[in-house]
Structure 1
Amino acid sequence: MPPFIFFHRARETFAADALGLEILEIAIPAALALAADPIASLVDTAFIGHIGPIELAAVGVAIAVFNQVSKIAIFPIVSVTTSLVAEEDAIATLSSDERESIELLDTSPTSVKETDELLPKHGASLDFTPSSASSFKKGQFEKRHIPSATSALVVSCVLGLVQTMCLTIFAEPVLMYMGVHKDSPMLMPARRYLVLRSLGAPAVLFTLAMQGVFRGIKNTRTPLFATVVGDATNIVLDPIFIFLFRLNVSGAAIAHVISQYVMSLLLLWKLVQQVDILPPTVGDLQLGRFLKSGFLLLMRVIAATIVVTLAASLATRTGPTAMAAFQVCLQIWLATSLLADGLAVAGQAIIASAFAKEDLDRAVDTSARVLQYAVVLGVALAVILYPGLYYGGILFTKDEDVLRLIRLGVPFVAISQPVNVLAFVFDGVNFGASDFAFSAYSMIFVSFISIFCLSMLTVGQGFIGIWVALTSFMTMRTLAGYIRIGAGVGPWKFLRTNA
């Protein structure tokens, strides 16, 4: 029955079977790779925290702006790329008879009324031959021909340049909107950090687009390799630029930008060895297909971004001390949540392949397994984070007022982890089913309620009110994802039919 998806084959949750091993093989490297940017930001935060609380707060505002603006472009690119690449790669590996046996979307039990005009039919308009799949022939490895991969790279380059231009030109107005006034001591260091960090936007988006391609072909080890090299570069360069060259916050930004370009070059080098990134004609790019699906997720991520950006803005308006504490808690919150996104990536890639092949049993088994893993991971993170952040705040600052506020935020950051993990994993499950329309509209509804909660709770509760509202935001996201599957509607209506 759809409402009991959590209990589907629950006895096999920890079984070392083929499905479990495939999920972990994709999820663990993906989680580590996804944590790259937040971890690098945490490194910046740790070094800058020893310069002073004003600089820490300034960088906190700048990072919040950069991350939220980047997420508007990153999330649609990565999510759509993963699903479309997984679908195209799965169909490419089928034999001619298998491809002909797959029903078109309008007669398939996986069809979704809301997206039947936006998404291509499974198995339709995909001009693949068996030779386009990854295989060995006469000792030579044949590159994959995946149009969505090239589409993602083109779009990411354009959006990266646009982001750099916008943040460079409008850095000061954006920071002022975030609550950093002209007479604030945070304005100048925040502006320097944001402008310099924006120079790395093209590399950030290009890197994430390539990660989406690798996820789609179920190769998350290559992005992990590039991430480790990039993070190591950032960690080595941070103290050199910040303290040796005495560039302070500017040094932290420069080190981060260099690490992003190193990462993108490594990924590009690996990608061209596996995928044909230059299609024969412009028409092969299928940009229309990519952009139509991406637009739905763009709506979704804008709604979510408004909530987190508003929370950061409200924290900034309460003063440098509150913003410094909020920055530390938020970066921990985001970094640990990305561990959950690793499970979401695994679920999305496997489920997208299963739907493309009309293997509905595999889609159900994968959905249940990643949700079960999510519960276990969420509880483990809560147990680890509560004492870890409570006593580990001194790693980021020695200011007693900032530490006091960090400890007030610890219960929310830690206890909300099970809900956070489930929210991310439900997203991955629904993206794998190409349920982009529901994901967009449900997020808009949840964000509208959360904005109201933020506005009301911050007035009376301040710092605590912000975290109550953010916890409620993640809880509603989880409920929306569960209701979609639990009710057996949309792409999951076959659960109710077969129950």
Structure 2
Amino acid sequence: MWNAVFHPWKNMGKVPLSVIFRDTRNVFKKDELGLEIAQIAFPAALALTADPIASLIDTAFIGHIGAVELAAVGVSIAVFNQVSRIAIFPLVSITTSFVAEEDTVGRWTNEVPENEKLEKVLAIDNEMEELIPHVDSMHNSSSRTANNTKNMEFEHERRHIPSASSALVIGGVLGLIQALFLIFSAKSILNIMGVNSGSPMLAPAMQYLTLRSLGAPAVLLSLAMQGVFRGFKDTKTPLYATMLGDVANIILDPILMFVFRLGVSGAAIAHVISQYLISVILLWRLMRKVDLLPPSIKDLQLGRFLRNGSLLLVRVIAVTFCVTLASSLAARLGSTSMAAFQVCLQIWLATSLLADGLAVAGQAILASAFAKKDYDKATATASRVLQLGLVLGLVLSVILLVVLQYASRVFTKDVNVLQLMNLGIPFVAVTQPINALAFVFDGVNFGASDFAYSACSMVLVAIVSILCLFILSSSLGFIGIWIALSIYMSLRTMSGFWRIWTGTGPWSFLRA
């Protein structure tokens, strides 16, 4: 697999970088492609950032309980999120691409019979064009009307999408496995993360992690369903469901934490309730759109999911290990360092995920374009989302540098924690353009179904980044961790440029 992905060194440089950043003057143009990206990206970005923002609100509430509790919850959130990513990220990414491909093929199949009829009618009437010059326009008009009517019927009928059923089955099973794994191994995992038996962080960390693990089935199911909706290029439905769930979380947080005096347990319970609410809403909406009962088990195409999912699983483990290792190294520096790292990391992830909205748009549009072999649209889409990602990153850098100087005290009043946060904030802000491009390149690769390259390149990036984390954290401490994370995101971005620049894999058409 490695040779198949990385062997074409001789092609390096054949594709100019101008292909990636061409027509930059049209980056904000409101043409058909620009509107399509915006309609998918904006709701997706809001939905993706809703959960990290909810976690930030949890963090703000918990920060007023104490620095120890803040650090403890930080470790627990890191564990839960990383285990969830290992379980669900491959499934969501594959589901989005597969559903987009199946939906595109389904629409094509729906249109073909009418087009064939049109060709036959035009062939018969071709000899009469001079006598009846308006016959062609009449046939074209009737054909468009028939196709539009047929497409409207296709939109409103419950579609049979095997990938949607497969995603729900796999998501539900993985959710139960994750819940059981985290509940019964919470203490051991926290010990590995640097929270030892004698640490004051252990008790609140175990309370939060164990209770939040009860919501794992809902989390994985809701994310699997979001992958299905993204494949349909519908990101508004997941946004509405996520917003309702997070509003419930924000309302329940202070009630359970302070009114009922449940502390960190109240924050976990509020989060679990919100996740089940999101899942119920999404399932209700999906059942109205898709026939979720497949004719047979073979129709689920589980083998296809597992083959591609195993590639992305390798990739996600590499990504997860880097971020989790960074959290573990911060925890080993003490509760003060971990508390500061937790706040900076949550801000880093929440803002960077705005670019993931562009990645979702790029993935959905590219998957449809590749399914139709529309390479012009594939190139234009990749260029546009990358340009928008770079602009977004630059804007976020400026905003964070200005805002975080005054907003740090929202999360904690501990002077020592604030001092360390001031050291981490410049890294959080300056790396935003790099982070944005890295996330968008993920969407580009997944839209092209380039799962093998994504996995192999990420393993190489992770190996270098892990070495940097160990070396820099031991020599520079808290700052060293953030320097290593900056190197990690830079390497991810470079690997994305490499694939298109060499014109290999699904991008070989660029060298034609």
Instruction: State the Cα deviation string for residues 290-315 of structure 1 (Å, max 9, x = none).
Output: 11111100000001100001000000
Q: 1:199 aligns with which of 185, 208, 214?
A: 214
Q: Does 1:259 align with 2:241?
A: no
Tell me how far apart the structure 2 counterparts of residues 293 and 162 of structure 1 sit (CA, whole Å): 20
Q: Which residue of 1 aligns with 2:313?
A: 298
Tell me how far apart the structure 1 counterparts of residues 111 and 342 of structure 2 sit (CA, whole Å): 55
Tell me how far apart the structure 1 counterparts of residues 339 and 327 of structure 2 sit (CA, whole Å): 10
How far the C-alpha of 1:3 sits from its partner, in A, is: 2.2
After superposing the two structures, state which structure 1 stretch, 367-376 or 274-283, moved more.
274-283
Give the letter aligned to residue 93 of structure 1.
R
How far the C-alpha of 1:11 sits from its partner, in A, is: 2.2
Q: 2:152 aligns with which of 128, 136, 150?
A: 136
Secondary structure of the equivalent of 1:63? helix
Instruction: State the Cα deviation string for residues 263-310 of structure 1 (Å, max 9, x = none).
Output: 000000000011111111111111111111111000000011000010
Q: Which residue of 2 aligns with 1:187?
A: 202
Tell me how far apart the structure 1 counterparts of residues 80 and 473 of structure 2 sit (CA, whole Å): 23
1:445-464 → structure 2 map (5 Å cutoff): 445-464=460-479
Give the letter aligned to residue 91 of structure 1.
V
Tell me how far apart the structure 1 counterparts of residues 258 and 111 of structure 2 sit (CA, whole Å): 64
Tell me how far apart the structure 2 counterparts of residues 394 and 96 of structure 1 sit (CA, whole Å): 57
Q: Residue 276 and residue 96 in structure 1: after superposition, are their counterparts in 2 closer, same or farther (change >3 A)?
A: closer
Secondary structure of the equivalent of 2:399? helix
Tell me how far apart the structure 1 counterparts of residues 106 and 511 of structure 2 sit (CA, whole Å): 30
Q: Which residue of 2 aligns with 1:34?
A: 48
Tell me how far apart the structure 1 counterparts of residues 431 and 213 of structure 2 sit (CA, whole Å): 31
Q: Does 1:229 align with 2:260?
A: no
TM-score, normalised to structure 2, is: 0.89
Larger radius of gyration: 2
1:414-453 → structure 2 map (5 Å cutoff): 414-453=429-468
Q: Which residue of 2 aligns with 1:359?
A: 374
Tell me how far apart the structure 2 counterparts of residues 76 and 390 of structure 1 sit (CA, whole Å): 37
CA RMSD across the alignment: 1.7
Q: Does 1:54 align with 2:68?
A: yes
Q: Which residue of 1 aligns with 2:335?
A: 320
Q: Residue 286 and residue 182 in structure 1: after superposition, are their counterparts in 2 closer, same or farther (change >3 A)?
A: same
Tell me how far apart the structure 2 counterparts of residues 332 and 458 of structure 1 sit (CA, whole Å): 21
Q: Which residue of 2 aligns with 1:74?
A: 88
Q: Which residue of 2 aligns with 1:20?
A: 34
Unaligned runs of 5+ in 2: 1-14, 116-145
How far the C-alpha of 1:391 sits from its partner, in A, is: 1.9
1:92-241 → structure 2 map (5 Å cutoff): 92-95=106-109, 135-137=151-153, 141-241=156-256
Q: Does 1:382 align with 2:372?
A: no
Tell me how far apart the structure 2 counterparts of residues 470 and 7 of structure 1 sit (CA, whole Å): 26
Secondary structure of the equivalent of 1:335? helix
Q: How many residues align?
A: 466
Contact 1:134–1:143, Cα closer than 8 Å, also in 2: no
Tell me how far apart the structure 2 counterparts of residues 250 and 81 of structure 1 sit (CA, whole Å): 33
How far the C-alpha of 1:243 sits from its partner, in A, is: 0.1
How far the C-alpha of 1:348 sits from its partner, in A, is: 0.2
Give the letter aligned to residue 94 of structure 1.
W
Q: Residue 321 and residue 140 in structure 1: after superposition, are their counterparts in 2 closer, same or farther (change >3 A)?
A: closer
Secondary structure of the equivalent of 1:7? coil
Instruction: State the Cα deviation string for residues 116-139 of structure 1 (Å, max 9, x = none).
Output: xxxxxxxxxxxxxx99x99433x9
Tell me how far apart the structure 1 counterparts of residues 32 and 272 of structure 2 sit (CA, whole Å): 39
Secondary structure of the equivalent of 1:179? coil
Q: Which residue of 1 aligns with 2:130?
A: none
How far the C-alpha of 1:2 sits from its partner, in A, is: 4.2
Tell me how far apart the structure 1 counterparts of residues 364 and 197 of structure 2 sit (CA, whole Å): 47
Tell me how far apart the structure 2 counterparts of residues 400 and 443 of structure 1 sit (CA, whole Å): 38
How far the C-alpha of 1:389 sits from its partner, in A, is: 1.8
Tell me how far apart the structure 1 counterparts of residues 511 and 225 of structure 2 sit (CA, whole Å): 37
Q: Which residue of 2 aligns with 1:113?
A: none
Q: Which residue of 2 aligns with 1:487?
A: 502
After superposing the two structures, state which structure 1 stretch, 340-349 or 38-47, moved more.
38-47
Give the letter aligned to residue 333 of structure 1.
W
Contact 1:26–1:345, Cα closer than 8 Å, also in 2: yes
Secondary structure of the equivalent of 1:434? coil
Tell me how far apart the structure 2 counterparts of residues 344 and 231 of structure 1 sit (CA, whole Å): 23
Instruction: State the Cα deviation string for residues 434-479 of structure 1 (Å, max 9, x = none).
Output: 0000000000000000000000000110000000000100000000
Secondary structure of the equivalent of 2:159? coil
Q: Residue 393 and residue 97 in structure 1: after superposition, are their counterparts in 2 closer, same or farther (change >3 A)?
A: closer
Instruction: State the Cα deviation string for residues 313-336 of structure 1 (Å, max 9, x = none).
Output: 000000000000000000000111
Tell me how far apart the structure 2 counterparts of residues 486 and 206 of structure 1 sit (CA, whole Å): 37
Give the letter aligned to residue 464 of structure 2.
I
Q: Residue 276 and residue 182 in structure 1: after superposition, are their counterparts in 2 closer, same or farther (change >3 A)?
A: same
Q: Residue 97 and residue 33 in structure 1: after superposition, are their counterparts in 2 closer, same or farther (change >3 A)?
A: closer
Give the letter aligned to residue 269 of structure 2.
I
Tell me how far apart the structure 2 counterparts of residues 20 and 49 of structure 1 sit (CA, whole Å): 41
Instruction: State the Cα deviation string for residues 141-182 of structure 1 (Å, max 9, x = none).
Output: 211211001101000000000000000000001001000010
Name the structure where helix makes up a greater proportion of residues: 2
Contact 2:21–2:386, Cα closer than 8 Å, also in 1: no
Q: Does 1:87 align with 2:101?
A: yes
Q: Which residue of 2 aligns with 1:111?
A: none
How far the C-alpha of 1:98 sits from its partner, in A, is: 5.9
Q: Which residue of 2 aligns with 1:289?
A: 304
